[in-house]
Amino acid sequence: MVILVTGGAGFIGSHTCVELLQNGYEVVVVDNHSNSSPGALDEVQKLAGLPLTAYQVDLRDRKALAEVFDAHPIDAVVHFAAKKAVGESIQIPLDYFDINIGGTTSLLRAMHEHGVYQLVFSSSCSIYGDSQKVPMAEEAPAGPTNPYALSKWTCEQLLAETCSRYPQFTVVSLRYFNPMGAHPSGRIGEDPRGVPHNVMPYLTQVAVGRLERLSVFGGDYPTPDGSAIRDYIHVMDVADGHRLAVEHLGEEPGMRVFNLGTGAGVSVLELVEAFSAACGKEIPYQVVDRRPGDVARLIADSSRVEREWGWRTTRNLAAMCDDAWRFQRLNPNGYDG
């Protein structure tokens, strides 16, 4: 099978490309490298010991995207390409709508025009918003609290509508909680452009001295230590979930939604402690005001995907910290260093 991976040079995309290649899939990547380096794809191919085909294309460029579909007999698409930072989305919401929603509709149009109907979509736990009830199952009501979350929720609704208007379409939407860590080889990991928006690359860059200290957003949440609680999940478990999603895509028509999380909540301060233990250094941090758009707790109920596909997480918090640190230690300046 030939799989088109949008955003394949990014953090989760690169780990998923390795998983797909190692499981016999042919991989074609489309990425504009707005938040990644082409070097990630060199490492992916070395790690897997297999080649892939990559195009530097913006998903919204319909002509260039059509040429990619013309050039390959694509069977299914795994769609990661998006902007993903909650705080930034409040500053530049229209960019989030344009790239995340506009990119997805451009992709759907290309798929429809080329008779490709199978899609795995990167959704997010952020669509659940500030739910009082944790863990959250897929039936929990959506309540996006920032433009990023709204863009993901809007995409899910557009995908559901597409499936009902065009019964040929099959979509699996994976709502991941907070992916972290890196491939255990230390060859690929999280290397965003500019100052990281996610906590783990921020921590690792503080540890190598590229950044001074971590800001912990909010010390007055209604949680035991006052910092926000998240369900951190190893990126290798997320990559595994995508391979399973591709395997199961054709089983049922229409759209299905699955959470991917561990079911365990970890506070930001607990994460700082776990990472300090992994890298053997105290990580300087300061507790600052809450960040607009953030919520107190996000914890997954992933029993649906375990029941239906037998997926469960196999790596713990210590492995996420060890692996993220190994990648940063071996690549202090990332892929371009």
Ligand X SMILES: NC(=O)c1ccc[n+]([C@@H]2O[C@H](COP(=O)([O-])OP(=O)(O)OC[C@H]3O[C@@H](n4cnc5c(N)ncnc54)[C@H](O)[C@@H]3O)[C@@H](O)[C@H]2O)c1
Residue positions annotated with a catalytic role: 148
As a residue count, the chain comes to 337
Residues 156-215 that bind ligand X (CB under 6 A): 176, 178-179, 192, 198
Least separation in angstroms between residue 77's CB and ligand X is 13
Asked if 9 interacts with ligand X (CB under 6 A), we say yes
Binding mask 120-139 for ligand X (x = CB under 6 A): --x-x---------------
The sheet that has 266-267: what strands, in order across it?
Answer: 266-267, 229-230, 297-298
Question: Alpha-carbon distance 206 to 195, whole Å?
Answer: 11
Question: Which residue number, 31 or 301, has a Cβ lying nearer to ligand X?
Answer: 31
Q: Give the side-chain half-sphere CA count within 13 A for 183.
A: 24
DSSP assignment, residue 300?
B
Question: Which residue number, 129 or 179, has a Cβ lying nearer to ligand X?
Answer: 179
- The only residue of 59, 119, 172, 298 in contact with ligand X, by rule CB under 6 A: 59
Least separation in angstroms between residue 206's CB and ligand X is 18
CA–CA distances in Å: residue 85 to residues 103, 118, 123, 149:
16, 27, 13, 9
Q: Within 166-267, where are the H helices?
A: 199-207, 235-248
Strand partners, 297: 229
Asked if 328 interacts with ligand X (CB under 6 A), we say no
Region near ligand X per CB under 6 A, out of 52-60, 88-96, 139-147, 249-257: 52-60
Question: Which residue number, 21 or 82, has a Cβ lying nearer to ligand X?
Answer: 82
Strand partners, 121: 79, 173
Angle between helices 268-279 and 199-207 (to 10 degrees): 40
Region near ligand X per CB under 6 A, out of 74-82, 133-141, 242-250, 300-308: 74-82
Question: Alpha-carbon distance 243 to 212, whole Å?
Answer: 38
- The only residue of 3, 4, 11, 156 in contact with ligand X, by rule CB under 6 A: 11
Asked if 16 interacts with ligand X (CB under 6 A), we say no
Region near ligand X per CB under 6 A, out of 55-63, 202-210, 211-219, 263-271: 55-63
Question: Alpha-carbon distance 144 to 264, whole Å?
Answer: 22
Least separation in angstroms between residue 272's CB and ligand X is 17
Asked if 82 interacts with ligand X (CB under 6 A), we say yes
Least separation in angstroms between residue 280's CB and ligand X is 25
Chain position whose Cβ is nearest to ligand X: 10
Region near ligand X per CB under 6 A, out of 24-32, 294-302, 303-311, 312-320: 24-32
Determine the distance from the C-alpha atom of residue 112 to the mean position of all C-alpha atoms in its chain, rounded to a whole number.
24
Buried b (16+ CB within 10 A) or exposed e, 119-153: bbbbbbbbbbbebeebbbebebeeebbbbbbbbbb
What residue ranges bind ligand X (CB under 6 A)? 7, 9-13, 30-36, 58-60, 80-82, 84, 99, 103, 122, 124, 176, 178-179, 192, 198
